[in-house]
Structure 1
Amino acid sequence: MSLIRKRNFTEDDEGSSKRQSAKYETMAKFYNTNPDQQHLILPRKPEGILIGRSSSCDIKITGVDVSSKHSKLSLANNKVRDYFFLTDLSSNGTFVNGAKLGHGSSVLLKSGDKVSFAKTGGVFIFRYLLDEVNEENKKRSLFDDYIVGKQLGSGHYAIVKEAKNRLTGDIVAVKIFHPNKTSKDSQEDEAKLQQEIDLLLSIDHPNIVKFINRYVEPINQHSVSTYLIMEKVNSGELFERIINKSKLREDETKALFKQLLSGLFYLHQKNIIHRDIKPENILLDITPRQSGQQQQTGPWDENEYDIKVKIADFGLAKFIGELQFTNTLCGTPAYVAPEILSNQINYTTKADLWSAGVLLYVCLCGFPPFSDELAPPNMREQILTAKYAFYSPYWDDITDAALDLISSLLVLSPEERYDVTTAADHEWFRESVSQEDMVMDSLDSTSSKNSLQRSSSMGSVQREPLRNNSHPLSFRHKFASELNSLSYQ
């Protein structure tokens, strides 16, 4: 008896394991860490593999604390390859990489996982045979290529975590979409999705977050999750910058917005509509200034040498379904073009220009042009009728050219709205607006504090006083308390 316990399983058990593998294709192995013990062969058995002390188990192991039915291996598929899920059925625990699963809990097994059955049932290293047979051409798992680390943020349909490439050491961001149920009838949808993924992976532009790879991994026997590997941008969102500064200077806004238009031009040339341009989806890659003598690349803050705009999160309707995407937007529609909000199916790239106009408005004054704080009418009706205004005194120090560009973007009819090329060629980008000029303007009471209009070579753009019953709520007042919990979108 003591000899059997020391060996963990008998020669008859080994024979049982081999007979199982003969009946079914061998899919994986448990390699025993005790060199004197046999390895366990794991067949591709559709109904699963029971492991335990009972003679009725598919694989029999012994030990004083091993349960009669200790664990079960179940098959799962991510539309690319099969995987094993390990479920703990025991009283004394099944351990994966030193962590106890707990009775009834399951985990996806990855090659290299260390599995222990209680204290005396043996310690094994798990490995898929596919990973051994064809290392170069195998269909790899995310966990073969990356070590997934800390969470960076979360959103309505995904969380984002940091990950490290096992081969190169590069740090990336991995967007993990909430699970979707598997379906045998979804091959056509999967093919369309893969086309979209291939398009995303082909994108290469300095003002767009780089997409690196996509994986689909099983979550359990019935659900899979999509993992999207992206370039990691370390300096946060434009949204956070607006909150911290209340609003942005006109010169820095111009420099950032010009980069945004450059990224949108690239996307629109490829017939890609972003659909969700907003400050939360504009990431900033900031290079610190090393000394006061280092010449800055733009009108940045004193401690900043360079800022690169990175557009993130575009085309996500293709990942989560058009209906769900639209419903999400309708929950917070401040940036959504009226043609999308009114459920027009055939909207164009002009939808992105409307959203860009809202973003430009927010950067320059610190609050959105459409909000329930400015009701009546409510925000939805404001958007559907393009009802907005430049309120004094918030807009008194902003040039007419900036207001004219916004007015050319927030146009109800997409046909009459600026496209990205026309917007990038606007006079505002040819004007020089220095901080010194803006300070001088603010000291001129006739041109700012007491006036509702400013003149430029373009004529004049009306500034309107606020109604007594309305008050715009700035991003800083609305979201400052949430800075510590901002999502990495």
Structure 2
Amino acid sequence: MVELNRKRNNDAAISSQEKLIVKKQRFDSIVKEVAVLFNLNTSGSDIRITSDKQVLLLGRSSHCDIKFDSPDVSSKHCSIEITQIYTASVIRYNLTITDLSSNGTFINSVLLGRGNTHLLKSGDEITIAQSGNKYIFRYLSEVKGKNSNYIIGKKLGSGHYADVKEAINRVTGEVVAIKIFHPNNKNDYLKELKQELQVLMSISHPNIVKFHDTFTESLDNYTQTTCLVLEKVNGGELFQRIVDKQKLRENETIALFKQLLQGLGYLHSRNIIHRDLKPENILLEIKPRRSLSETQSGPWDSNELDVQVKIADFGLAKFIGEFNFTNTLCGTPAYVAPEVLQKTRKYNKAVDLWSLGVLLYVCLCGFPPFSEELGPPSMRQQILSGKFAFFSPYWDPISDFALDLITRLLVVDPTKRLDVNQTANHIWFTENKNENKISEATRQLSVTRLTKKDTVPLTLKERVETAMAIDNVEKDNNK
């Protein structure tokens, strides 16, 4: 019986391999034009590149596939290699050029250098030697579908419902991020999804991650994955900044939150609720400071010229379904408003202002206002009742104006919570602060500076280190 099963498995493996070979042969037997080198010279013609050769040699030698007469062109000057990529029933092509010469191959007027290889993008200008044999490279549309426009590279991150990968737009050469959602069932929500995407891609604000494009890929007759093409931001997450520093300076936090409120105000003005504001969804575009003589745009670190806030992952309930989205939120509810935990379907923009209050608390002291180690009661009950405190010594150096804003945001009744405009106009953000505008509730909290001797709150850094330690133990146990 065991031998019979082995034979069946071997037969299945052979059959699968045969299908792959047949499939590959079918692709390989179809000769396609995959790219063109458009001639920029006064004489000569365009060079059309087809899929029937894996490597094309360019040079003066009679053995080259593409021949040149210019004396400064080497006998084997450069090569163009075609790589075929098979995915499902689709074939794509990537082309690279390698300099083999002593007289130089130039890409966009920059010397490639002997032995070096360049991944070609549409619009690249290729110059063969100094004699001026110039061409513009263009991919042809070998596949129907927007996914062929992107060369997908390394993974940047992953989450509950999607992976994020770096990619290059083959037409423009722009580096982007592609959020690839985990496969879901094909159903009738596609029309609604497309409408929502049109709204998201119309968003244009300097403090919001830009949506460039979207496409779907069918994995089989029943499942598909949705891909979002996004602006790539270079400075990482606000979460990592807090972890690295343990907490942020107050003036630094003010500068970041002014930008954050501008972006959030823009979303709310277009009736878009984020619903998942947390440090992981706030990205930072950082412009490095090259010398101390450069004037910084704000109270940033000494090596930073400018830090720009970018809100990410807004409106994503549409892509993973309302049920899954709510369950994901409830899995990490530290930033979630009480009305969301109660699963009230009629919650509104006020949920974002609660999350903003939690985020502000975390930035200034390094740990969240609600957590299991601060219980009893449980974290859920702390949130539902709005039970939090400003513990000494962590909050001793922080101004009462910051405490006042937090207490006005972490209000259980959403109708009494500050909205985005009221928050932006709070006295904490003004230059000349008036002590008389501090609320009595805040005054009481700031005087008592509650201390809980048996409680030592875990900072974000300690939480990350603990999670990593647990993960390492689990990996060791599974070895």
Q: TM-score, normalised by structure 2?
A: 0.68
Match of 1:357 in 2: 357
Match of 1:476 in 2: 461
Specify the code of the residue in structure 2 equivalent to 1:294: E
Tell me if 1:196 matches 2:181: no
Identity %: 54
The answer to whether the 8 Å contact 2:84/2:92 transfers is no
| Higher RCO (CA 8 Å, separation ≥ 6 residues) | 1
State the aligned residue count.
346
Q: In structure 2, do the counterparts of structure 1 residues 384 and 469 end up closer, same or farther at CA, with 3 Å as the change threshold?
A: same
State the Cα distance separating 1:355 from its structure 2 match.
Answer: 0.2
Match of 1:391 in 2: 391
In structure 1, distance between residues paired with 2:317 and 2:198: 15
What pairs up with 1:234-253 in 2 under 5 angstroms?
A: 234-253=234-253
In structure 2, distance between residues paired with 1:422 and 1:147: 44
In structure 1, distance between residues paired with 2:290 and 2:31: 56
Q: In structure 2, do the counterparts of structure 1 residues 98 and 270 end up closer, same or farther at CA, with 3 Å as the change threshold?
A: closer
Specify the code of the residue in structure 1 equivalent to 2:161: Y
State the Cα distance separating 1:390 from its structure 2 match.
Answer: 0.8
| Unaligned segments of structure 1, at least 5 residues | 1-28, 36-95, 100-105, 115-134, 434-454, 485-489
In structure 2, distance between residues paired with 1:34 and 1:151: 33
State the Cα distance separating 1:278 from its structure 2 match.
Answer: 0.2
Instruction: Say which of 408, 430, 445 aligns to 1:462.
Output: 445
2:260 is paired with a residue of what secondary structure? Answer: helix
The answer to whether the 8 Å contact 1:400/1:461 transfers is no
Instruction: Say which of 142, 149, 152 aligns to 1:145.
Output: 149
State the Cα distance separating 1:195 from its structure 2 match.
Answer: 1.2
Match of 1:110 in 2: 90
Match of 1:219 in 2: 219
Specify the code of the residue in structure 2 equivalent to 1:32: S
In structure 2, distance between residues paired with 1:387 and 1:465: 12
Match of 1:32 in 2: 29
The answer to whether the 8 Å contact 2:391/2:452 transfers is no
In structure 2, distance between residues paired with 1:390 and 1:432: 24
What pairs up with 1:118-137 in 2 under 5 angstroms?
A: none
Match of 1:272 in 2: 272
The answer to whether the 8 Å contact 1:399/1:456 transfers is no
The answer to whether the 8 Å contact 2:84/2:93 transfers is no
Q: Which moved more, 1:274-283 or 1:473-482?
A: 473-482
1:462 is paired with a residue of what secondary structure? Answer: helix
Instruction: Say which of 178, 182, 198 aligns to 2:182.
Output: 178
State the Cα distance separating 1:351 from its structure 2 match.
Answer: 0.6
| Unaligned segments of structure 2, at least 5 residues | 1-25, 33-81, 95-139, 470-479
In structure 1, distance between residues paired with 2:309 and 2:144: 32
Q: In structure 2, do the counterparts of structure 1 residues 249 and 112 end up closer, same or farther at CA, with 3 Å as the change threshold?
A: closer
The answer to whether the 8 Å contact 2:150/2:169 transfers is yes
State the Cα distance separating 1:465 from its structure 2 match.
Answer: 2.8
What pairs up with 1:277-426 in 2 under 5 angstroms?
A: 277-426=277-426
2:248 is paired with a residue of what secondary structure? Answer: coil
In structure 1, distance between residues paired with 2:31 and 2:207: 54
Q: In structure 2, do the counterparts of structure 1 residues 482 and 380 end up closer, same or farther at CA, with 3 Å as the change threshold?
A: closer
State the Cα distance separating 1:480 from its structure 2 match.
Answer: 4.2
Match of 1:158 in 2: 162
Q: In structure 2, do the counterparts of structure 1 residues 225 and 457 end up closer, same or farther at CA, with 3 Å as the change threshold?
A: same
1:340 is paired with a residue of what secondary structure? Answer: helix
2:333 is paired with a residue of what secondary structure? Answer: coil
In structure 2, distance between residues paired with 1:254 and 1:310: 15
Tell me if 1:210 matches 2:190: no
Q: Which moved more, 1:469-478 or 1:279-288?
A: 469-478
Q: In structure 2, do the counterparts of structure 1 residues 97 and 391 end up closer, same or farther at CA, with 3 Å as the change threshold?
A: same
The answer to whether the 8 Å contact 1:154/1:160 transfers is yes
State the Cα distance separating 1:419 from its structure 2 match.
Answer: 0.2
In structure 1, distance between residues paired with 2:373 and 2:273: 30
Q: TM-score, normalised by structure 1?
A: 0.67
In structure 1, distance between residues paired with 2:468 and 2:430: 35
